[in-house]
Amino acid sequence: MIRMMMMDDDDDDMEYEFEASCRPLLNLYTFLHKPNQCPFYLVCDVIKSLKMTREIFINKYHHMVNISRINRSDFETNGLIVQLEKRRSNCKILNDKNKQTMNEQQQQQQQHEIEIVYQSEQINRILDIELTVI
C-alpha cells in the first residue's frame, strides 16, 4: 500500500493525500475539534486487516504501538474520517467496570470506549503502508 502526501507550494497549510492499494484501505480518523492531534486507526479495523485476534496483535506488537481508549460518544460526535471513501467498521465497545459515577446514564456513557492506535511509522510498517511526501 502506498500513501502519498502532496504539499501545495502556494499555501503551506494545504495537504493532499493519495492512496493506492490492491486491498481495501483502513479508515483513518481525526477529531474535528482537535485538528493538531495525530490521526488514528480503530484497533478493530487494524486487527481485522491483519487477520489476527486482539490478543495476538497486542502480544506481537505491544512494544511498537500504544493502544489508547476514547469515549464512544465523543468519537461518534466529533470523529471525522480522513479518507474520502467511508467504510463500515464493526467494533466492539469496551466495558470498563472500574468507573463509578452518580448518574446511571452518565455512567453508561463513560463505560463505552473504543480502542484506537495513533498513526505512526511503526503502525504504518505493521500495516505495510508506505508514506511518501511529494
Question: Are the CB atoms for 39 and 119 separated by under 8 Å?
Answer: yes
Q: Which residue has the higher pLDDT, 20 or 37?
A: 37
CATH number of the domain to which 66 belongs: 3.10.260.40
So what's the pLDDT on residue 46? Answer: 93
pLDDT in tens, 66-109: 899 988 888 888 777 765 444 455 555 554 444 444 456 555 55
Q: Count structural domains, the chain.
A: 1
Residue range 41-69: mean pLDDT, rounded: 92
- Bridge-based pairing state of the strands 40-42 and 94-95: unpaired
Cell 511518501 -> residue: 132
pLDDT in tens, 2-32: 555 555 565 555 555 555 666 677 888 888 7
Q: Which residues form the domain of 39?
A: 2-133
> Does position 44 have pLDDT exceeding 50, yes or no?
yes
